[in-house]
Structure 1
Amino acid sequence: MEKITMPQKLLKNMTFHSDVCEKHTYIQNGQEIVKPIQMMVIKGEVLCPRCEAEKTEQQLQEKMQSEFDLSMQQQKYNTLYNKSILQDKTLLDATLENFKAEQSEERENKQTVIESVNRFKNGQVFNVVLQGNQGAGKSHLAYATLQELNGQDTSCLFVNVESMLRLIKDTFSNKQSKYTENYFVELMSEVDYLVLDDIGAETGAIGTDKTATDFVQRVLYAITTTRQDKSTIITTNLSSETLFKMYDKKLVSRMFRNPKFIVFKETKDKRMNNIPF
Protein backbone atom coordinates (compact mmCIF):
# COMPACT_ATOMS: atom_id res chain seq x y z
CA MET A 1 0.00 0.00 0.00
CA GLU A 2 1.36 3.43 -0.95
CA LYS A 3 2.46 5.47 1.99
CA ILE A 4 0.91 8.91 2.32
CA THR A 5 3.29 11.50 3.71
CA MET A 6 1.51 14.17 5.68
CA PRO A 7 2.92 17.52 6.81
CA GLN A 8 3.49 17.52 10.55
CA LYS A 9 1.17 20.46 11.07
CA LEU A 10 -1.73 18.44 9.60
CA LEU A 11 -1.17 15.47 11.90
CA LYS A 12 -2.27 17.42 14.94
CA ASN A 13 -5.88 17.11 16.07
CA MET A 14 -6.83 14.70 13.22
CA THR A 15 -9.52 12.04 13.50
CA PHE A 16 -10.94 9.66 10.88
CA HIS A 17 -14.31 10.34 9.26
CA SER A 18 -16.74 7.88 7.75
CA ASP A 19 -16.66 9.56 4.30
CA VAL A 20 -14.09 8.61 1.66
CA CYS A 21 -12.32 10.54 -1.12
CA GLU A 22 -13.31 9.15 -4.51
CA LYS A 23 -10.49 11.09 -6.20
CA HIS A 24 -7.66 8.98 -4.85
CA THR A 25 -7.03 5.23 -4.83
CA TYR A 26 -4.11 3.26 -3.50
CA ILE A 27 -1.36 1.94 -5.78
CA GLN A 28 0.14 -1.40 -4.74
CA ASN A 29 2.73 -3.36 -6.75
CA GLY A 30 2.04 -1.15 -9.74
CA GLN A 31 -1.68 -1.97 -9.67
CA GLU A 32 -4.45 0.46 -8.88
CA ILE A 33 -6.61 -0.83 -6.02
CA VAL A 34 -10.09 0.58 -5.87
CA LYS A 35 -10.02 1.45 -2.22
CA PRO A 36 -10.87 5.09 -1.63
CA ILE A 37 -8.88 7.00 0.96
CA GLN A 38 -10.79 7.66 4.13
CA MET A 39 -11.50 11.30 4.90
CA MET A 40 -10.26 12.86 8.10
CA VAL A 41 -11.35 15.67 10.32
CA ILE A 42 -8.56 18.21 10.27
CA LYS A 43 -9.02 21.29 12.41
CA GLY A 44 -12.76 20.89 12.29
CA GLU A 45 -12.94 20.31 8.51
CA VAL A 46 -13.60 17.03 6.72
CA LEU A 47 -10.70 16.71 4.30
CA CYS A 48 -8.81 14.14 2.28
CA PRO A 49 -5.28 13.84 3.69
CA ARG A 50 -3.93 13.02 0.22
CA CYS A 51 -5.55 16.12 -1.27
CA GLU A 52 -4.09 18.25 1.52
CA ALA A 53 -0.64 16.75 1.00
CA GLU A 54 -0.83 17.45 -2.73
CA LYS A 55 -1.99 20.99 -2.11
CA THR A 56 0.92 21.59 0.26
CA GLU A 57 3.35 20.14 -2.30
CA GLN A 58 1.88 22.35 -5.05
CA GLN A 59 2.28 25.43 -2.89
CA LEU A 60 5.89 24.48 -2.19
CA GLN A 61 6.60 23.98 -5.91
CA GLU A 62 5.01 27.34 -6.75
CA LYS A 63 7.12 29.04 -4.09
CA MET A 64 10.30 27.41 -5.40
CA GLN A 65 9.43 28.39 -8.99
CA SER A 66 8.72 31.96 -7.89
CA GLU A 67 12.09 32.15 -6.11
CA PHE A 68 13.84 30.71 -9.17
CA ASP A 69 12.16 33.20 -11.50
CA LEU A 70 13.11 36.06 -9.20
CA SER A 71 16.70 34.81 -9.11
CA MET A 72 16.85 34.65 -12.91
CA GLN A 73 15.39 38.15 -13.20
CA GLN A 74 17.96 39.48 -10.74
CA GLN A 75 20.71 37.72 -12.65
CA LYS A 76 19.57 39.36 -15.89
CA TYR A 77 19.43 42.77 -14.25
CA ASN A 78 22.91 42.39 -12.75
CA THR A 79 24.54 41.32 -16.03
CA LEU A 80 25.23 44.97 -16.87
CA TYR A 81 26.95 45.62 -13.55
CA ASN A 82 28.69 42.29 -12.98
CA LYS A 83 29.89 41.28 -16.44
CA SER A 84 30.52 44.48 -18.39
CA ILE A 85 34.11 45.29 -19.40
CA LEU A 86 34.88 49.01 -19.07
CA GLN A 87 38.10 50.96 -19.36
CA ASP A 88 36.56 54.12 -17.93
CA LYS A 89 34.86 53.34 -14.60
CA THR A 90 33.26 56.81 -14.48
CA LEU A 91 30.79 55.48 -17.05
CA LEU A 92 29.11 53.54 -14.25
CA ASP A 93 27.42 56.82 -13.26
CA ALA A 94 26.47 57.78 -16.83
CA THR A 95 22.80 58.57 -17.40
CA LEU A 96 20.85 60.51 -19.97
CA GLU A 97 20.03 63.05 -17.29
CA ASN A 98 23.65 63.89 -16.47
CA PHE A 99 24.84 64.05 -20.08
CA LYS A 100 25.74 67.71 -20.59
CA ALA A 101 24.30 68.80 -23.92
CA GLU A 102 25.60 72.35 -24.36
CA GLN A 103 25.82 72.64 -28.15
CA SER A 104 23.04 72.14 -30.66
CA GLU A 105 24.67 68.99 -32.03
CA GLU A 106 24.88 67.50 -28.56
CA ARG A 107 21.23 68.32 -27.87
CA GLU A 108 20.11 66.83 -31.18
CA ASN A 109 22.15 63.66 -30.66
CA LYS A 110 20.89 63.24 -27.11
CA GLN A 111 17.32 63.54 -28.37
CA THR A 112 18.03 60.93 -31.05
CA VAL A 113 19.33 58.58 -28.35
CA ILE A 114 16.15 59.13 -26.31
CA GLU A 115 14.04 58.36 -29.37
CA SER A 116 16.11 55.21 -30.00
CA VAL A 117 15.54 54.07 -26.40
CA ASN A 118 11.79 54.45 -26.88
CA ARG A 119 11.94 52.48 -30.12
CA PHE A 120 13.84 49.70 -28.34
CA LYS A 121 11.25 49.62 -25.57
CA ASN A 122 8.55 49.26 -28.24
CA GLY A 123 10.24 46.12 -29.48
CA GLN A 124 12.01 47.47 -32.56
CA VAL A 125 15.30 45.80 -33.46
CA PHE A 126 18.04 47.91 -35.03
CA ASN A 127 21.66 48.93 -34.46
CA VAL A 128 22.86 52.32 -33.25
CA VAL A 129 26.24 53.64 -34.40
CA LEU A 130 27.69 56.55 -32.41
CA GLN A 131 30.58 58.04 -34.38
CA GLY A 132 32.76 61.10 -33.96
CA ASN A 133 35.60 62.76 -32.12
CA GLN A 134 37.04 61.18 -29.00
CA GLY A 135 35.71 62.69 -25.80
CA ALA A 136 32.42 63.81 -27.37
CA GLY A 137 30.36 61.64 -25.02
CA LYS A 138 29.62 58.63 -27.25
CA SER A 139 30.41 56.04 -24.58
CA HIS A 140 28.46 58.05 -22.01
CA LEU A 141 25.36 57.97 -24.20
CA ALA A 142 25.85 54.30 -25.02
CA TYR A 143 26.08 53.26 -21.35
CA ALA A 144 23.20 55.58 -20.45
CA THR A 145 21.10 53.82 -23.09
CA LEU A 146 21.72 50.49 -21.37
CA GLN A 147 20.82 52.04 -18.01
CA GLU A 148 17.44 52.99 -19.50
CA LEU A 149 16.85 49.54 -20.99
CA ASN A 150 18.16 47.37 -18.16
CA GLY A 151 15.48 45.54 -16.21
CA GLN A 152 14.29 42.26 -14.76
CA ASP A 153 13.23 40.94 -18.15
CA THR A 154 16.00 42.58 -20.17
CA SER A 155 19.74 41.85 -20.12
CA CYS A 156 22.33 44.45 -21.13
CA LEU A 157 26.11 44.39 -21.50
CA PHE A 158 28.78 47.02 -22.16
CA VAL A 159 32.10 45.79 -23.58
CA ASN A 160 35.13 47.87 -24.45
CA VAL A 161 36.47 46.00 -27.47
CA GLU A 162 40.17 46.66 -26.85
CA SER A 163 39.91 45.46 -23.23
CA MET A 164 37.97 42.36 -24.28
CA LEU A 165 40.56 41.38 -26.88
CA ARG A 166 43.36 41.88 -24.36
CA LEU A 167 41.58 39.58 -21.88
CA ILE A 168 41.09 36.92 -24.53
CA LYS A 169 44.78 37.05 -25.54
CA ASP A 170 45.75 36.66 -21.88
CA THR A 171 44.01 33.25 -21.80
CA PHE A 172 46.52 31.96 -24.35
CA SER A 173 49.09 31.78 -21.54
CA ASN A 174 46.85 32.05 -18.47
CA LYS A 175 44.75 28.90 -18.47
CA GLN A 176 43.06 29.90 -15.21
CA SER A 177 41.32 32.91 -16.77
CA LYS A 178 37.65 32.54 -17.65
CA TYR A 179 37.77 35.26 -20.30
CA THR A 180 38.17 32.99 -23.28
CA GLU A 181 36.95 33.70 -26.78
CA ASN A 182 34.07 31.27 -26.27
CA TYR A 183 33.14 32.96 -22.99
CA PHE A 184 32.71 36.35 -24.64
CA VAL A 185 31.01 35.06 -27.80
CA GLU A 186 28.46 33.10 -25.75
CA LEU A 187 27.85 35.93 -23.27
CA MET A 188 27.49 38.61 -25.93
CA SER A 189 25.22 36.48 -28.09
CA GLU A 190 22.76 35.98 -25.23
CA VAL A 191 22.18 39.53 -23.97
CA ASP A 192 19.29 41.55 -25.36
CA TYR A 193 21.26 44.79 -25.77
CA LEU A 194 25.01 45.00 -26.30
CA VAL A 195 27.41 47.94 -26.55
CA LEU A 196 30.62 47.38 -28.50
CA ASP A 197 32.65 50.34 -27.32
CA ASP A 198 35.46 51.99 -29.28
CA ILE A 199 35.52 49.75 -32.32
CA GLY A 200 38.85 50.14 -34.15
CA ALA A 201 40.87 51.34 -31.15
CA GLU A 202 42.53 47.95 -30.86
CA THR A 203 44.65 48.68 -33.97
CA GLY A 204 46.28 51.79 -32.54
CA ALA A 205 46.03 55.55 -33.11
CA ILE A 206 43.44 57.25 -35.26
CA GLY A 207 44.65 57.67 -38.82
CA THR A 208 46.47 54.36 -38.87
CA ASP A 209 46.56 52.33 -42.08
CA LYS A 210 46.65 49.07 -40.15
CA THR A 211 44.12 46.35 -40.81
CA ALA A 212 42.63 44.23 -38.07
CA THR A 213 44.29 40.87 -37.49
CA ASP A 214 42.59 37.61 -38.38
CA PHE A 215 42.11 36.99 -34.67
CA VAL A 216 40.27 40.30 -34.14
CA GLN A 217 38.14 39.81 -37.23
CA ARG A 218 37.23 36.27 -36.16
CA VAL A 219 36.09 37.35 -32.69
CA LEU A 220 34.05 40.32 -33.91
CA TYR A 221 32.59 38.31 -36.78
CA ALA A 222 31.42 35.58 -34.40
CA ILE A 223 29.80 38.14 -32.08
CA THR A 224 28.03 40.14 -34.77
CA THR A 225 26.83 37.01 -36.56
CA THR A 226 25.04 35.73 -33.46
CA ARG A 227 23.34 39.11 -33.00
CA GLN A 228 21.60 39.51 -36.33
CA ASP A 229 18.21 39.31 -34.60
CA LYS A 230 19.20 41.58 -31.69
CA SER A 231 20.11 45.22 -31.20
CA THR A 232 23.75 46.29 -30.88
CA ILE A 233 25.09 49.75 -30.07
CA ILE A 234 28.51 50.63 -31.48
CA THR A 235 30.80 53.54 -30.66
CA THR A 236 33.80 54.45 -32.80
CA ASN A 237 36.10 57.37 -33.55
CA LEU A 238 36.73 56.10 -37.06
CA SER A 239 35.06 57.01 -40.34
CA SER A 240 33.17 54.44 -42.38
CA GLU A 241 35.94 54.60 -45.00
CA THR A 242 38.55 53.66 -42.41
CA LEU A 243 36.39 50.89 -40.97
CA PHE A 244 35.91 49.32 -44.39
CA LYS A 245 39.69 49.38 -44.91
CA MET A 246 40.36 47.98 -41.47
CA TYR A 247 37.80 45.17 -41.40
CA ASP A 248 36.29 42.69 -43.82
CA LYS A 249 33.30 44.18 -45.64
CA LYS A 250 30.99 41.43 -44.37
CA LEU A 251 31.92 42.31 -40.78
CA VAL A 252 31.26 46.04 -41.24
CA SER A 253 28.00 45.20 -43.00
CA ARG A 254 26.89 43.23 -39.95
CA MET A 255 27.81 46.09 -37.62
CA PHE A 256 25.89 48.55 -39.81
CA ARG A 257 22.83 46.31 -40.20
CA ASN A 258 19.60 48.34 -40.06
CA PRO A 259 21.49 51.26 -38.50
CA LYS A 260 20.65 54.52 -36.82
CA PHE A 261 23.72 56.75 -37.19
CA ILE A 262 24.43 59.38 -34.54
CA VAL A 263 27.41 61.48 -35.62
CA PHE A 264 29.44 64.04 -33.67
CA LYS A 265 31.14 66.35 -36.18
CA GLU A 266 31.43 69.59 -34.22
CA THR A 267 31.53 68.49 -30.58
CA LYS A 268 35.02 68.85 -29.09
CA ASP A 269 36.78 66.56 -26.65
CA LYS A 270 35.23 67.48 -23.29
CA ARG A 271 38.14 65.95 -21.43
CA MET A 272 40.46 68.61 -22.89
CA ASN A 273 38.45 71.62 -21.69
CA ASN A 274 40.33 72.08 -18.41
CA ILE A 275 43.85 71.82 -19.77
CA PRO A 276 45.51 75.27 -19.11
CA PHE A 277 48.21 75.10 -21.78
Structure 2
Amino acid sequence: MAGLNFELLKHVKKTNEYCQVHPEQQLLALANHIPFCPRCVEEKRRHKNNELVTIGALRSYKRGFYEVLKKDSIIDDENLWQASFENYEVEAGSEAEVNMKKAKQIAYKYMDRDYQANTIITGNPGVGKSHLAISMLKGVNENIKPNASCLFVSVNELLRLIKDSFNHPDSYYTESRMVDLLGKVSLLVLDDLGSEASFKRDNREASEYVQQVLFGVLNKRNRTIITTNLNSDELSKIYNPKLLSRMYKGVMKNDGIIKFKETQDKRMAIF
Protein backbone atom coordinates (compact mmCIF):
# COMPACT_ATOMS: atom_id res chain seq x y z
CA MET A 1 0.00 0.00 0.00
CA ALA A 2 3.01 2.28 0.40
CA GLY A 3 3.03 3.20 -3.27
CA LEU A 4 -0.57 4.51 -3.28
CA ASN A 5 -1.85 8.04 -2.73
CA PHE A 6 -3.02 8.41 0.88
CA GLU A 7 -6.18 10.38 0.01
CA LEU A 8 -7.20 7.80 -2.56
CA LEU A 9 -6.88 5.04 0.01
CA LYS A 10 -9.81 6.53 1.94
CA HIS A 11 -12.09 5.61 -0.95
CA VAL A 12 -10.70 2.13 -1.60
CA LYS A 13 -12.78 -0.92 -0.73
CA LYS A 14 -11.82 -4.56 -0.52
CA THR A 15 -13.40 -6.94 -2.98
CA ASN A 16 -14.01 -10.67 -2.80
CA GLU A 17 -11.51 -11.27 -5.60
CA TYR A 18 -7.87 -12.26 -5.13
CA CYS A 19 -4.73 -11.49 -7.16
CA GLN A 20 -3.53 -14.20 -9.52
CA VAL A 21 0.11 -13.19 -8.90
CA HIS A 22 -0.29 -12.87 -5.12
CA PRO A 23 -3.08 -15.38 -4.24
CA GLU A 24 -3.26 -14.25 -0.61
CA GLN A 25 -3.84 -10.59 -1.58
CA GLN A 26 -7.42 -9.35 -1.92
CA LEU A 27 -8.06 -6.97 -4.79
CA LEU A 28 -9.09 -3.45 -4.03
CA ALA A 29 -11.60 -1.31 -5.86
CA LEU A 30 -11.64 2.45 -6.28
CA ALA A 31 -14.96 4.00 -7.30
CA ASN A 32 -15.89 2.55 -10.72
CA HIS A 33 -12.35 1.48 -11.62
CA ILE A 34 -11.22 -2.09 -12.29
CA PRO A 35 -10.12 -3.84 -9.07
CA PHE A 36 -6.37 -3.92 -8.52
CA CYS A 37 -3.75 -5.62 -6.43
CA PRO A 38 -1.84 -3.15 -4.19
CA ARG A 39 1.22 -5.42 -4.16
CA CYS A 40 1.32 -5.48 -7.97
CA VAL A 41 1.04 -1.68 -7.99
CA GLU A 42 3.91 -1.35 -5.53
CA GLU A 43 6.12 -3.78 -7.45
CA LYS A 44 5.40 -1.96 -10.69
CA ARG A 45 6.33 1.35 -9.02
CA ARG A 46 9.60 -0.09 -7.73
CA HIS A 47 10.39 -1.57 -11.11
CA LYS A 48 9.74 1.79 -12.75
CA ASN A 49 11.98 3.55 -10.23
CA ASN A 50 14.73 1.01 -10.75
CA GLU A 51 14.37 1.45 -14.49
CA LEU A 52 14.70 5.22 -14.14
CA VAL A 53 17.73 4.82 -11.90
CA THR A 54 19.31 2.46 -14.44
CA ILE A 55 18.61 4.84 -17.32
CA GLY A 56 20.08 7.71 -15.32
CA ALA A 57 23.16 5.67 -14.47
CA LEU A 58 23.66 4.69 -18.10
CA ARG A 59 23.32 8.30 -19.18
CA SER A 60 25.89 9.37 -16.59
CA TYR A 61 28.13 6.54 -17.67
CA LYS A 62 27.88 7.62 -21.31
CA ARG A 63 28.48 11.27 -20.41
CA GLY A 64 31.50 10.25 -18.35
CA PHE A 65 33.11 8.83 -21.47
CA TYR A 66 31.55 10.82 -24.29
CA GLU A 67 32.24 14.23 -22.75
CA VAL A 68 35.93 13.53 -22.12
CA LEU A 69 36.61 14.68 -25.68
CA LYS A 70 35.24 18.19 -25.10
CA LYS A 71 36.12 18.46 -21.41
CA ASP A 72 39.72 17.24 -21.30
CA SER A 73 41.09 17.79 -24.80
CA ILE A 74 43.94 20.29 -25.15
CA ILE A 75 43.39 22.12 -28.39
CA ASP A 76 45.08 25.28 -29.66
CA ASP A 77 42.63 26.00 -32.49
CA GLU A 78 39.00 26.08 -31.36
CA ASN A 79 37.84 26.05 -34.98
CA LEU A 80 38.85 22.40 -35.13
CA TRP A 81 35.74 21.51 -33.13
CA GLN A 82 33.73 22.27 -36.27
CA ALA A 83 35.79 19.86 -38.37
CA SER A 84 34.19 16.67 -39.67
CA PHE A 85 34.41 14.31 -42.61
CA GLU A 86 31.35 16.07 -44.03
CA ASN A 87 33.08 19.47 -44.32
CA TYR A 88 36.51 18.17 -45.36
CA GLU A 89 36.78 19.68 -48.84
CA VAL A 90 38.33 17.48 -51.51
CA GLU A 91 38.38 17.28 -55.28
CA ALA A 92 37.37 14.06 -56.98
CA GLY A 93 40.37 11.83 -57.60
CA SER A 94 42.71 13.99 -55.52
CA GLU A 95 45.22 12.83 -52.93
CA ALA A 96 43.07 14.47 -50.25
CA GLU A 97 40.05 12.40 -51.30
CA VAL A 98 42.09 9.18 -51.18
CA ASN A 99 43.41 10.11 -47.73
CA MET A 100 39.95 10.96 -46.43
CA LYS A 101 38.65 7.55 -47.52
CA LYS A 102 41.56 5.85 -45.80
CA ALA A 103 40.98 7.90 -42.65
CA LYS A 104 37.35 6.75 -42.59
CA GLN A 105 38.43 3.13 -42.99
CA ILE A 106 40.92 3.39 -40.12
CA ALA A 107 38.38 5.19 -37.92
CA TYR A 108 36.04 2.25 -38.50
CA LYS A 109 38.79 -0.12 -37.35
CA TYR A 110 39.13 1.85 -34.11
CA MET A 111 35.47 1.08 -33.39
CA ASP A 112 36.75 -2.38 -32.52
CA ARG A 113 38.44 -2.17 -29.13
CA ASP A 114 40.65 -5.10 -30.07
CA TYR A 115 42.22 -3.10 -32.90
CA GLN A 116 45.64 -2.28 -31.48
CA ALA A 117 47.65 -0.02 -33.79
CA ASN A 118 48.78 3.57 -34.12
CA THR A 119 48.13 5.76 -37.15
CA ILE A 120 50.52 8.37 -38.56
CA ILE A 121 49.13 11.28 -40.60
CA THR A 122 52.05 13.13 -42.18
CA GLY A 123 52.53 15.99 -44.62
CA ASN A 124 53.24 19.69 -44.92
CA PRO A 125 51.43 22.22 -42.70
CA GLY A 126 47.92 23.22 -43.76
CA VAL A 127 46.98 20.14 -45.80
CA GLY A 128 44.23 19.04 -43.42
CA LYS A 129 45.97 16.54 -41.13
CA SER A 130 44.38 17.84 -37.93
CA HIS A 131 41.00 18.08 -39.65
CA LEU A 132 41.17 14.41 -40.59
CA ALA A 133 42.44 13.37 -37.16
CA ILE A 134 39.66 15.07 -35.20
CA SER A 135 37.08 13.81 -37.71
CA MET A 136 38.27 10.26 -37.04
CA LEU A 137 38.20 10.86 -33.30
CA LYS A 138 34.72 12.40 -33.29
CA GLY A 139 33.39 9.54 -35.39
CA VAL A 140 34.68 6.97 -32.93
CA ASN A 141 33.59 8.99 -29.90
CA GLU A 142 30.01 9.22 -31.17
CA ASN A 143 29.59 5.65 -32.36
CA ILE A 144 31.77 3.19 -30.44
CA LYS A 145 29.81 0.67 -28.35
CA PRO A 146 30.04 0.48 -25.44
CA ASN A 147 31.15 4.05 -24.94
CA ALA A 148 34.85 4.86 -24.68
CA SER A 149 36.85 7.96 -23.86
CA CYS A 150 38.58 9.82 -26.70
CA LEU A 151 40.97 12.75 -26.45
CA PHE A 152 42.56 15.29 -28.79
CA VAL A 153 45.81 16.88 -27.59
CA SER A 154 48.02 19.49 -29.20
CA VAL A 155 51.54 18.41 -28.27
CA ASN A 156 52.82 21.99 -28.08
CA GLU A 157 50.01 23.12 -25.81
CA LEU A 158 50.30 20.00 -23.64
CA LEU A 159 53.99 20.60 -23.01
CA ARG A 160 53.42 24.29 -22.34
CA LEU A 161 50.78 23.50 -19.71
CA ILE A 162 52.92 20.84 -18.07
CA LYS A 163 55.90 23.18 -17.87
CA ASP A 164 53.66 25.93 -16.48
CA SER A 165 52.60 23.53 -13.71
CA PHE A 166 56.19 23.54 -12.40
CA ASN A 167 55.43 26.92 -10.84
CA HIS A 168 51.84 26.07 -9.92
CA PRO A 169 51.74 22.84 -7.86
CA ASP A 170 47.93 22.96 -7.72
CA SER A 171 47.66 22.96 -11.52
CA TYR A 172 45.52 20.28 -13.14
CA TYR A 173 48.17 19.84 -15.84
CA THR A 174 50.95 18.16 -13.91
CA GLU A 175 53.12 15.67 -15.72
CA SER A 176 51.89 12.69 -13.70
CA ARG A 177 48.22 13.56 -14.18
CA MET A 178 48.58 14.18 -17.91
CA VAL A 179 50.59 11.03 -18.54
CA ASP A 180 48.01 9.04 -16.60
CA LEU A 181 45.04 10.59 -18.43
CA LEU A 182 46.55 10.34 -21.91
CA GLY A 183 47.74 6.82 -21.23
CA LYS A 184 44.28 5.56 -20.26
CA VAL A 185 41.88 6.93 -22.87
CA SER A 186 40.68 4.49 -25.50
CA LEU A 187 41.71 6.62 -28.49
CA LEU A 188 44.12 9.56 -28.43
CA VAL A 189 45.18 12.10 -31.04
CA LEU A 190 48.63 13.64 -30.55
CA ASP A 191 48.50 16.61 -32.87
CA ASP A 192 51.53 18.26 -34.51
CA LEU A 193 54.16 15.97 -33.05
CA GLY A 194 57.67 17.20 -33.76
CA SER A 195 56.86 20.89 -33.91
CA GLU A 196 57.86 21.30 -30.26
CA ALA A 197 61.47 20.64 -31.33
CA SER A 198 61.36 22.90 -34.38
CA PHE A 199 61.01 26.00 -32.20
CA LYS A 200 64.40 25.43 -30.59
CA ARG A 201 67.21 27.64 -31.85
CA ASP A 202 70.21 25.46 -31.14
CA ASN A 203 69.15 22.15 -32.69
CA ARG A 204 66.03 20.24 -33.60
CA GLU A 205 66.49 17.37 -31.22
CA ALA A 206 63.65 17.19 -28.72
CA SER A 207 64.74 17.76 -25.16
CA GLU A 208 65.24 14.79 -22.89
CA TYR A 209 62.31 15.94 -20.76
CA VAL A 210 59.94 16.20 -23.75
CA GLN A 211 60.88 12.71 -24.85
CA GLN A 212 60.36 11.47 -21.31
CA VAL A 213 56.79 12.83 -21.26
CA LEU A 214 55.94 11.48 -24.72
CA PHE A 215 57.45 8.09 -23.92
CA GLY A 216 55.45 7.95 -20.69
CA VAL A 217 52.24 8.43 -22.68
CA LEU A 218 52.98 6.24 -25.70
CA ASN A 219 54.46 3.41 -23.66
CA LYS A 220 51.01 2.88 -22.11
CA ARG A 221 49.15 2.93 -25.40
CA ASN A 222 48.38 0.87 -28.49
CA ARG A 223 45.73 3.12 -30.10
CA THR A 224 47.02 6.58 -30.98
CA ILE A 225 46.58 8.83 -34.02
CA ILE A 226 49.63 11.04 -34.56
CA THR A 227 49.80 14.01 -36.89
CA THR A 228 53.17 15.44 -37.87
CA ASN A 229 54.75 17.67 -40.50
CA LEU A 230 57.81 15.41 -40.54
CA ASN A 231 58.73 12.20 -42.36
CA SER A 232 60.34 9.18 -40.72
CA ASP A 233 63.90 10.36 -41.44
CA GLU A 234 63.22 13.71 -39.84
CA LEU A 235 61.52 12.12 -36.85
CA SER A 236 64.54 9.84 -36.33
CA LYS A 237 66.73 12.93 -35.96
CA ILE A 238 64.50 14.36 -33.26
CA TYR A 239 63.50 11.39 -31.13
CA ASN A 240 65.40 8.44 -29.70
CA PRO A 241 64.77 4.90 -31.03
CA LYS A 242 62.83 3.75 -27.96
CA LEU A 243 60.31 6.56 -28.40
CA LEU A 244 60.07 6.01 -32.15
CA SER A 245 59.28 2.34 -31.61
CA ARG A 246 56.34 3.35 -29.39
CA MET A 247 55.10 5.80 -32.05
CA TYR A 248 55.19 3.16 -34.77
CA LYS A 249 53.32 0.41 -32.88
CA GLY A 250 51.32 -1.56 -35.43
CA VAL A 251 51.66 1.16 -38.08
CA MET A 252 53.38 -0.84 -40.83
CA LYS A 253 51.53 -4.07 -40.12
CA ASN A 254 48.14 -2.35 -40.44
CA ASP A 255 48.98 0.10 -43.23
CA GLY A 256 48.44 2.94 -40.77
CA ILE A 257 50.19 5.76 -42.65
CA ILE A 258 48.20 8.56 -44.26
CA LYS A 259 50.67 10.63 -46.26
CA PHE A 260 50.20 13.97 -48.01
CA LYS A 261 52.74 14.61 -50.77
CA GLU A 262 50.91 16.67 -53.40
CA THR A 263 48.19 18.50 -51.46
CA GLN A 264 48.77 22.25 -51.10
CA ASP A 265 48.42 24.28 -47.91
CA LYS A 266 44.68 25.01 -47.69
CA ARG A 267 45.27 27.99 -45.38
CA MET A 268 47.75 29.79 -47.59
CA ALA A 269 46.45 33.17 -48.73
CA ILE A 270 46.76 33.99 -52.43
CA PHE A 271 47.52 37.61 -53.29
Q: Same fold judged by TM-score > 0.5? A: yes
Distance 1:237 1:140, change over 3 A: same
Give the whole-Å Cα distance in 1 for the aligned partners of 2:35 and 2:242.
72
For 2:5, the equivalent position in structure 1 comes to 9
Contact between 1:86 and 1:158, CA under 8 Å: does it hold in 2? yes
Tell me if 1:243 matches 2:232: no
Secondary structure of the residue that 2:53 maps to in structure 1?
helix
Of 108, 112, 120 in structure 2, the residue corresponding to residue 129 of structure 1 is: 120
The 10-residue stretch of structure 1 (232-241 or 172-181) with the greater mean CA deviation from structure 2 = 172-181
Secondary structure of the residue that 2:71 maps to in structure 1?
helix
Distance 1:247 1:14, change over 3 A: farther
Secondary structure of the residue that 1:258 maps to in structure 2?
coil
Give the whole-Å Cα distance in 1 for the aligned partners of 2:167 and 2:239.
27
Of 134, 146, 152 in structure 2, the residue corresponding to residue 158 of structure 1 is: 152
1:13-162 equivalences under 5 Å are 13-14=11-12, 41=28, 43=30, 45=35, 47=37, 49=39, 52-102=41-91, 104-121=94-111, 124-151=115-142, 153-162=147-156
The 10-residue stretch of structure 1 (117-126 or 158-167) with the greater mean CA deviation from structure 2 = 117-126
Contact between 1:113 and 1:145, CA under 8 Å: does it hold in 2? yes
RMSD of aligned alpha carbons: 3.1
Secondary structure of the residue that 2:142 maps to in structure 1?
coil
Tell me if 1:219 matches 2:213: yes
Please tell me the residue identity of whatever aligns with 1:163: E
Number of matched pairs: 257
Distance 1:73 1:116, change over 3 A: same
Per-residue deviation at 1:17?
A: 7.5
Secondary structure of the residue that 1:271 maps to in structure 2?
coil
For 1:31, the equivalent position in structure 2 comes to none
Please tell me the residue identity of whatever aligns with 2:105: E
For 1:210, the equivalent position in structure 2 comes to 204
TM-score for the superposition, normalised by structure 1: 0.78
Contact between 1:189 and 1:226, CA under 8 Å: does it hold in 2? yes
For 1:32, the equivalent position in structure 2 comes to none
Q: Which runs of 5+ in 2 are unaligned?
A: none
Per-residue deviation at 1:205?
A: 4.0
Contact between 1:206 and 1:237, CA under 8 Å: does it hold in 2? no
Tell me if 1:256 matches 2:243: no
Tell me if 1:271 matches 2:252: no
Counting aligned pairs with the same residue, the percent is 36
Distance 1:108 1:262, change over 3 A: same
Please tell me the residue identity of whatever aligns with 2:111: K
Over residues 12-54 of structure 1, what are the superposed CA-to-partner deviations in whole Å (9 max), with x where a residue is unaligned? 2455689999x99xxxxxxxxxxxx8656365646364x6545
Give the whole-Å Cα distance in 2 for the aligned partners of 1:208 and 1:138.
28
Distance 1:270 1:263, change over 3 A: same
Per-residue deviation at 1:8?
A: 4.2
Per-residue deviation at 1:138?
A: 0.7
TM-score for the superposition, normalised by structure 2: 0.80
The 10-residue stretch of structure 1 (244-253 or 40-49) with the greater mean CA deviation from structure 2 = 40-49
Secondary structure of the residue that 2:63 maps to in structure 1?
helix
Q: Which runs of 5+ in 1 are unaligned?
A: 25-36
Per-residue deviation at 1:112?
A: 1.4
The 10-residue stretch of structure 1 (87-96 or 73-82) with the greater mean CA deviation from structure 2 = 73-82
Please tell me the residue identity of whatever aligns with 1:127: N
1:179-198 equivalences under 5 Å are 179-198=173-192
Contact between 1:200 and 1:243, CA under 8 Å: does it hold in 2? yes
For 2:168, the equivalent position in structure 1 comes to 174
Please tell me the residue identity of whatever aligns with 2:250: N
